[in-house]
Chain A
Amino acid sequence: MPEKKISLILKIWRQKNPDQQGKLVTYELSDISSSMSFLEMLDLLNEQLTIKAEEPVAFDNDCREGICGKCGAMVNGTPHGPERETTLCQLHMRHFKDGDTIYIEPFRSVAFPLIKDLVIDRSALDTVIMAGGYISVNAGSAVEANTHPVGRDVAEQAMDSAACIGCGACVAACPNASAMLFTGAKITQLALLPQGQPERKKRAASMVKTMDKLGFGGCTNIGECEKACPKNISITNIARLNHEYMRTILLADEK
């Protein structure tokens, strides 16, 4: 695709730290190549701000390949911007038109306190994993890898859930700030596989409880999470979470 140059008006959330008030600041940026990624567009702005001895916009990123889950911001009100199944780092400027105004704000949720500008603290998601998003197997104690056959369709389904990158877009998109899609994806992955069976009940109970404790909201089936997910994690993972959670209650005394 031939390269074009565009100009944009950016309205970016600037907030020095959690204690100070933040506000939207307007920047005009030109000479944006259509083959740039969204983050490269922000790099361009930041280089220009730096040369003017102004503070560049803080934003998180690392892999720039859509896999580490570190980037993310609300672009015109949508997590990771307008393209479906695309992280902010993989969003390219060819999807914007010359003269567009773009609002760029951090993911907002009680469970994700702001650090600076677009940077937030998502460690609550790690805390959810700590509550049971694992199989308790010490190094050295594993059985031979082909001992338990896993059908290709099951493995594929587990992989669909395991593809979650933990970016938090689902939480940012949800009016209830629920983390059910994130948590459901991990519970589903492990519930599908034979290795996940021994701790299946305990895992669901503990992860759901922790999620609630951290201030994430409940799910009321709005479906915004699925739409916002850059990895296309299906809302059926939430159905599976509910199913797994019910199982822990209904089968509470089954050993």
Chain B
Amino acid sequence: MQLDAKIPAGPIAQKWDNRRFEYNLVNPANRRKYTVLVIGTGLAGASAAATLGELGYNVKIFCLQDSPRRAHSIAAQGGINAAKNYQNDGDSVFRLFHDTIKGGDFRSREANVYRLAQLSNLIIDQCVAQGIPFAREYGGTLANRSFGGAQVSRTFYARGQTGQQLLLGAYSSLMRQVALGTVSLFPRRELMDVIVEEGRASGIICRNLINGQLESYNGHSVVLATGGYGNVFHLSTNAMASNVSAGWRAYKRGAGLANPCFVQIHPTCIPISGTHQSKLTLMSESLRNDGRVWVPKQAGDTRDPAKIPENERDYYLERKYPSFGNLVPRDIASRGAKEVCDQQRGVSETGQAVYLDFQDAIQRDGLNTIRYKYGNLFQMYQKITADNPETHPMKIYPAVHYTMGGLWVDYNLMTTIPGLFAIGEVNYSDHGANRLGASALMQGLADGYFVLPYSMGDYLATMGPVALSDTNQPLFKEATESIDNQTALLLKNNNSKKKGLQTVEHYHRKLGKTLWDHCGISRNKEGLQTALASIPEIRAEFWDNCLVPGTGLEFNQSLEKACRVADYLEFSEIMVQDALQREESCGCHLREESMSVDNEAQRDDKNFSHVTVWFHNGKEKTATTKREPLEFELSKPSTRNYK
């Protein structure tokens, strides 16, 4: 079965214009009659809620954190892309489109990516108008830096805190609407279920994280902006609260889940230092502008890096990919690091690290210039490792970072459940099998400021001002009861004398290791099958032996975490099945069985030029898949060549 992406007619450059003209509009005076529930206050959710509020809709917005400003987007470091061509270096909307499609290894939808490139410039205008202090040239114009997978300089940045500044911009617009009364804010709430009434999303159930109470909310539509699921691997660069639950609960209510195996592993993170590790810290990709990646040529060379002469170093990315060098896309850089570590040429005590060296850049540009560009990243690195990157090369290793997979959405950003929209990282839309650096922020804000507010209007106008769902009706009651039952099951070992009980963390670690070993940087059939056999075992153990202290009617962080891990233990199975059925290498998804003669990833366009979308068929039933075929009119699927 195939899915209809509802791509507008016409030449690609006019598709979005055409669609906007086709959209029905809601009369400004009627907008306040519509309630929109937005879950998530990251770049996507905050920008969408603020904009819907500005338009006059009645918006309710929910987030896990105590303040919307703390959503995970705050941690984005490097920058945001736009096709402004301020550097006069040959950039254009078409080039940004083309780089993004190519970077995604021809597994994304052309029409969406083109729209994203078109909207990119408006985002920068909007953000500057909000007072975001982007980096500037001496003459006062906006500065740019380069990012992986591009040969033009199109990335806008605010030191190493671009995500923070963009989010605070969106947050300030959001808070302005809260003050104006168009948006109501519900912090410390966790989405537990989506209510679908007569085929339309019409409400949600949330847990109030302060007192544990389950609360029902009704709306004319629901927007999930709940971010990515990288934490299924236990260790990732994501914030601790990032999770799969909202998307997974929507999936269980009928939303299709697209390409869940597409998980980006970022090449430059601080390596694991011990078993206590709770998260991994990203060192921004922008560092690869000036840092050179290398390992010793000789396996087992444990000399101090400064003592290793130039001719005994292997700058393997520059050697293998002379035209892109250290700026190859992330998947290629990650694979490179794994390869040299597998050859026993990795550095540090664990052997699971490579050097990222700034000595040449410091010699060339002077310490002050390098400090200006990367000072805060150097500081963060030093705080964590107690090493100074100005004098010693950084040690880095790949870590799980971003999830390209997610809820399937059509061109209007609607999932397969009418009235349920998904924006930002939680959706699968623009990044194919690999996301280029600095394009998640662009996508989140494009979705929130400039796409969803239009497509939402059309959905609501077409539906008309129907009455809101009654939250006292059985649908809400049944959903609430089933969550209560789950809570009781999770708490059942509390006060039990049973032996061998374990913490939630224990099971999360165990799942994470299984996934990293078998569904990580490179994957093969045997490993994936091993993972598929272990996941149900870990899940069963979890439900038998997991110890969650406290009750369900109080502030209970162990229970919060247990609910999320319970969802990872189900979701991961679909993720691995997805990796197993995709018998090709593409982007981040390297299948060892699908390699070219020169040991590069080999795509199989004949059999896999499509999106795989998973559907839930009920408890204990196998999931089924549908496809969205991908057609490339403008860009010719070619073998990505960064040599």
Residues of A whose CB lies within 8 Å of any CB of B are 1, 3, 16-17, 33, 35-37, 39-40, 43-44, 47, 49-51, 53-56, 58, 60-70, 85-86, 90, 92, 94, 115-116, 119, 121-123, 125-126, 129-131, 133-146, 148-152, 155-156, 158-159, 162-163, 165-166, 189-190, 193, 195-196
Contacts and interface: CB of A to CB of B under 8 A. Distances in A.
Contacts of B135: 152, 155
Nearest to A122: B66
A90 B130 contact: no
A189 B158 CA distance: 13
Contact of B172 (A43, A70, A135, A155): A135
B402 interface: no
Contact of A123 (B67, B503, B547): B67
A64 to B, nearest CB: 5
B175 A129 contact: yes
Nearest to B496: A53
A217 to B, nearest CB: 21
Contact of A68 (B134, B239, B379): B239
A142 B125 CA distance: 6
B51 A139 contact: yes
A17 B555 CA distance: 8
B550 A137 contact: no
B66 A150 contact: no
A130 B74 contact: no
Interface of B: 47, 50-51, 54, 65-70, 72, 74-75, 84, 86, 121-122, 124-142, 158-159, 161, 163-165, 168, 171-173, 175-176, 178-179, 185, 187, 210, 239-241, 273-274, 276-279, 281-282, 379-380, 383-387, 449-450, 453, 494-495, 501-503, 505-506, 547, 549-550, 554-555, 557-558
A239 to B, nearest CB: 19
A142 B126 contact: yes
A134 B549 contact: no
A126 B278 contact: no
Contacts of B179: 130-131
B547 A50 contact: yes
B54 A139 contact: yes
Contacts of A152: 135-138, 140
A142 B66 CA distance: 30
A69 B68 CA distance: 11
B129 A65 contact: no
A92 B495 contact: no
B547 A119 contact: no
A54 to B, nearest CB: 7
Contact of A64 (B140, B173, B175, B279): B279
B175 A126 contact: yes
A1 B386 contact: yes
Given A35-B273, A62-B239, A149 B175 contact: no
Contacts of B121: 145
Contacts of A137: 126, 129-130, 173
A195 B129 contact: yes
